[in-house]
Structure 1
């Protein structure tokens, strides 16, 4: 026997089980090479307690983002007008509508990624009529031919290396990130509506204060003119009283302009033209809810921006596996069946039947380093997502610290400012009596009146800033600091 035959026969005698085991081992090794690194939440070194909180209270723990922002959290301020504005913003704000559309697009991308792993089936039908020309030596005459075809074709790419499943994982994480973005946008819009509304009410309070002040200043101006006619006040006193009255009118106009602009901003936030919204004036600033002395660490788990950043890390991690899978061959099973003939009337006859079935393998042998660059790009994108996640967490901690400090300090400032208003009013009463008695000049009255107006306006400003700080703190902890809502 020829030596080559004995070798061939020995190869044929190899057990098929051994071949299967060998192929399975090779497949497992290649699959392992294409598998992305396991996804883990990025580590972050954070303190054990809030700097502005109660010593010893926990500030951070491994979070399980819930994307669960409490509904109607702004009702803590107990303001029906604010509730009505929030209802309009929920349905009309265009930034929220944009985030909703992005979430729909992400879900469609997930459906598309999932469909890529399923078999595809198509149908074809064609009818052509063609004429062939004669040959150069006229041995073949020109002929006109008809061609009819009707068939089905199917294909299915085998996902041996995880390229398709990795794309599905990345798309699913992107959907979760988009859902977090939507929740974060809604929370941001709600907080902005609250902030703008309180600023509008503060501007109204300033207008009301200036109205009352103008009434008092007008009386002082009239009193000074009367005293001048009586010969006990100078023209300079009258001029000072007039200047004070006119400058306060300017301040009132500025407050009215600010109020109008804030109303326009609320219209845009609720998805309306400025002419379509009119907020009734009340000049009433609500009392802020009491900030608890200790905030539970689990509150930050509920922040949707943190959840979205974490999902983007997962999506980027999955894309590493997709890029690595490009190094391995794509294996596709395909088949086709149908009828092909020259006459439409006899197209479906058995002799015209055709079919085909078989696998196809495609692999890139040289790409100039494009696939290696794609893997490196995917890893860099993952590192970017990790850095973004960590920065999001750090920013969240900073925001809580900032507004805890502000809310605590402004509560004390409001108390002190109220005492300053009372003291300035007492001083004005004394100086007014002295001026009417002729023991002091009008400059003393002017100074006392200016002081009263200043401290009263400062009190309104402190109250507004305290409301803003509490509102932002509520936004920082995703809408509520009540532990039972977690």
Structure 2
């Protein structure tokens, strides 16, 4: 290697080092919450341990519910926005990947101009008109020595993973919302039927009171009280009818269906499903909650943007080359003598750009701090939701056990009154009152069953609704 080449390489190395702007230190990095330590209080537990399964709603064995959720996941309007965001993220990733590697383009030009007679070119060029034709194939290669483009691609991958997780979250939220709306409807259907029986018995009791009053065996106050109770039952029936109509419209909106949908929706008795709660949450909660995955990928994407901002502090080296044809006479364009060749490096030094680079880096670090705070808050909220929903299910189970005892006692009372009535030891009013008490207990049973279904769905959704993290897109790209 001769002395001239050595001096050239040394000069280039000095330029590279001198062209590096100083990267300001990262003074404060927030602490990311360790989700592995996330757990529930020891007194929060259910009879069975485990996580929800995919398509958890099929466990209820209700074909109507299955069809509604499948329809919503296929055509639901709330998923269209999430799908559009995935498309935008894919476009951004494609653009970022297009900036890496070799960039090849073609160039063609034809122009006619008059050269100045007193300019750089003397006669016969000066003062004459000439037509110039150019064909050129250009190529540009960015070495990306400092990983700027790789970091930008990684940030775009992170954003796409965020939107994929957000789509999964939208799916789970939609399935849970439809299941809860459906269970409210079914609960109201069952209570409406029970209320019709209550109204019939109360009507019979009011008629019995009227007969007793007409016979002089009771005062008018008992008749007024019976009529007041009957009016209250009719008011409850009107409210239930309104609730059913409102809930049906809410379900139509979730499905994105028109006014003719759900016309054939039928009352179906709901079956009990054994609900589960994992013994520990920890890192599994991160893998099974799409919203936590979205928060994690937002943080990963922000870290990649910091890497890209740091790489901008270093010199940028590109290699540019071209081959082509250039002539001032069209008939000579394709001749060998018209060919042109160019090859040369381009060195960009951020010497006087430190303030802008500092501001860009500070912005990315601030965004990272926000993402860490959002991630930590998402973890806290996720654990809170699981704990509260599990306590709700646990509490309802206890209420149902007590309600069963109350219903059993009321049923025994009804059986006793009926036996005494058959022996002539009790009147018809006593039997009707016992039946009213039994039907009111039945209404309480139905209400608790409805609340239990809603709490089960809420807990299932809080545990991720059967979601499990897919292979990250970065792995697929590799």
Q: Same fold (TM over 0.5)?
A: yes
Q: Determine the C-alpha separation between the residues in 1 that align with 2:426 and 2:164.
A: 72
1: distance between equivalents of 2:15 and 2:443?
Answer: 79
**What's the CA shift for 1:453?**
5.7
- Give yes or no for contact 1:119–1:156 (8 Å, CA) kept in 2: yes
- Kindly indicate whether residue 366 of structure 2 is the aligned counterpart of residue 376 of structure 1: no
Distance 1:173 1:17 in 2: 44
Deviation at 1:36, TM superposition (A): 11
Once the two structures are superposed, what CA deviation does each residue of 1:391-411 show, in whole Å capped at 9, x if it has no partner?
A: 222222222211222212211
1:44 to 2:34 alignment: yes
Query: Structure 2 unaligned runs (5+)?
Result: 469-478
Task: Give the direction of change, closer, same or farther, for the CA distance of 1:273–1:20 in structure 2 (3 Å limit).
Answer: farther
User: Residues 304-319 of structure 1 correspond to what in structure 2 (within 5 A)?
Assistant: 304-319=290-305
| In the alignment, structure 1 residue 269 sits paired with structure 2 residue 254 | yes
Q: Match of 1:275, SS?
A: coil
Seen in structure 2, the aligned counterparts of structure 1 residues 375 and 450 have a Cα distance that, compared at 3 Å, is: farther
- Is 2:153 aligned against 1:168? yes
Matching of residue 346 in structure 1 with residue 332 in structure 2: yes
**Distance across 2 between alignment mates of 1:370 and 1:32:** 12
Shift of 1:106: 1.9
Q: Is the 8 A contact 2:159 2:297 kept in 1?
A: yes
Match of 1:218 in 2: 203
Instruction: Determine which of 80, 86, 89 is the counterpart of 2:63.
Output: 80
Q: 1:230 to 1:401 in 2, by over 3 A?
A: same
Q: How does 1:152-231 map to 2 (within 5 A)?
A: 152-231=137-216
> C-alpha separation between the residues in 2 aligned to 1:337 and 1:69?
62
Query: Bigger relative contact order, structure 1 or 2, given CA contacts below 8 A and separation 6+?
Result: 2
Distance in 2 between residues matched to 1:414 and 1:111, nearest whole Å: 56
Q: Which range is displaced more, 12-21 or 165-174?
A: 12-21
Alpha-carbon distance, 1:83 to partner: 0.9
Please tell me whether residue 462 in structure 1 is matched to residue 448 in structure 2: yes
> Which of residues 267, 272, 293 is equivalent to 1:287?
272
Worse-matched range after superposition: 179-188 or 347-356: 347-356
Q: Do 2:38 and 2:282's aligned partners in 1 also have CA atoms closer than 8 Å?
A: no
> Using a 3 Å threshold, how does the CA distance of structure 1 residues 110 and 175 change in structure 2: closer, same or farther?
same
Equivalents in 1 of 2:14, 2:400: separation in Å? 75
Within the candidate set 77, 81, 92, 1:109 is matched to 92
Gaps of 5+ in 1: 1-10, 60-67
Q: Number of matched residues?
A: 456
In structure 2, the partner of 1:476 is 462
Distance 1:365 1:250, change over 3 A: same
Indicate the residue corresponding to 1:3 in structure 2: none
Specify whether residues 295 and 161 from structure 1 end up closer, same or farther in structure 2 by C-alpha distance, changes over 3 A only: closer
Note if contact 2:40-2:383 (Cα within 8 Å) is conserved in structure 1. Answer: no
Helix, strand or coil for the counterpart of 1:171? helix
Question: Could you tell me the TM-score, scaled by structure 1's length?
Answer: 0.79
Find the aligned partners of 1:31 and 1:115 in 2 and give their Cα distance: 27
Is the 8 Å Cα contact of residues 40 and 387 (structure 2) preserved in structure 1?
no
Question: What do the CA deviations read for 1:19-77 (whole angstroms, capped 9, x no partner)?
Answer: 579949977x969979999x99934374665333469xx99xxxxxxxx9843121222
SS at match of 1:286: coil
Structure 1 position 372, deviation (Å): 0.9
Q: Per the alignment, do residues 303 and 25 of structure 1 end up closer, same or farther by CA in structure 2, a change over 3 Å counting? A: farther
Alpha-carbon separation, structure 2, partners of 1:113 and 1:214: 69
Distance in structure 2 (CA, Å) of the matches to 1:292 and 1:478:
12
